Structure 1
């Protein structure tokens, strides 16, 4: 994997810029669902967010006491300005995730949106030692098979590294021990994650390490 220079990294995103991106994702989804059109970049888009970048948008349905995945799609290559990437990922998560039907107007008041800004993926040299839960997302590749899991996924389920790798293999459409095969390529990336606390509500930044310690009740870093 090779990328051009001047790609925006997640560590560069401020809380205000993260809030801007989540609200942009929300506007992109609502405009597309209601009016069947894609929005352009707003006039007040920060110049930094016009640099190329990678992002995923996750949509969750809010139930009485829990949340349920409703769509998640993103881009692992920096092919467009970050703000435009978020718009495209938001619309795709709402309408093109093959696991779900397109989002409907009646659902807009009962969803929360999460935007993950990704770093440039790097190859893993030592498997599983170089993979850290709470820090890394993974990309698993072999031939035509490919799949990724975001850094927050193992936190949500309190997976250890080997479970994370096995689930990544399954996501890529391969056997769960595919990561042991030398033909399999593994990459890691980091993310800065911003989310709505409630539908159209306050927007916060996720601290995965703190979530890990609180939810999973294990020492950090949790590498094995």
Structure 2
């Protein structure tokens, strides 16, 4: 894992419009198959979707979050991760009841393809770029992650973003200031069924 000082902007996998469309179809098809109890769709072809990459799949209904689950590590092909996380977002997000088949048509799917996380050392708010950086905090067995778009959607500055990710990890709001807490940043290529996010 690199430090943010070594690599302040990390490249995120470059996806063509065809790659993005194929991944969105895959996510919707995987969720539909899961709800129907049928076989998941085949994985799309293409070099980009075979790259080892982390990703999150977010489901929204009428503009409200309905599920969001992801896999941070770049240890599986992107298409596999998207297919699995689409099903998990609809079924396993503990904040929501499982998606019902009747909801599928109204759901909007968004995919966030993640860069490798980098350690933010020292963890100072001024080094966080809102709208570009996502945050991951770790301390002991606790961890919390917020995607880059979350800060923008909530109109948070860097301090509020850090406090929110600490709370998500079950830590004190200012735990990011303590040396025992590791703060990492990452970037995401975000796209959804209605275009780029």
TM-score above 0.5, yes or no: yes
Partner of 1:39: helix, strand, or coil?
Answer: coil
In the other structure, the counterpart of 1:58 is 58
Query: What is the CA RMSD across the aligned residues, in angstroms?
Result: 1.4
Question: Is 1:151 the equivalent of 2:148?
Answer: yes
Which residue among 165, 168, 171 is the counterpart of 2:165? 168
Asked if 1 retains the 8 angstrom alpha-carbon contact of 2:29 and 2:40, the reply is no
Gap regions ≥5 residues in structure 1: 3-8, 198-203, 207-224
Shift of 1:16: 2.2
In 2, the alpha carbon distance for the partners of 1:165 and 1:15 equals 33
- Count of residues in correspondence between the two structures: 188
Question: Is 1:140 the equivalent of 2:131?
Answer: no
In 2 relative to 1, CA 101–37 (structure 1 residues): closer, same or farther, beyond 3 Å? farther
Which residue among 117, 123, 129 is the counterpart of 1:121? 117
Asked if 1 retains the 8 angstrom alpha-carbon contact of 2:136 and 2:185, the reply is yes
In the other structure, the counterpart of 2:47 is 47
Question: Is 1:205 the equivalent of 2:165?
Answer: no
Which residue among 72, 87, 91 is the counterpart of 1:91? 87
Partner of 1:33: helix, strand, or coil?
Answer: helix
Gap regions ≥5 residues in structure 2: 3-10
In 2, the alpha carbon distance for the partners of 1:36 and 1:182 equals 48
Cα deviation, 1:54-97, whole Å, max 9, x if unaligned, reads 100000012xxxx1110000011012110010001100000000
Partner of 2:126: helix, strand, or coil?
Answer: coil
In the other structure, the counterpart of 2:107 is 111
Shift of 1:11: 4.2
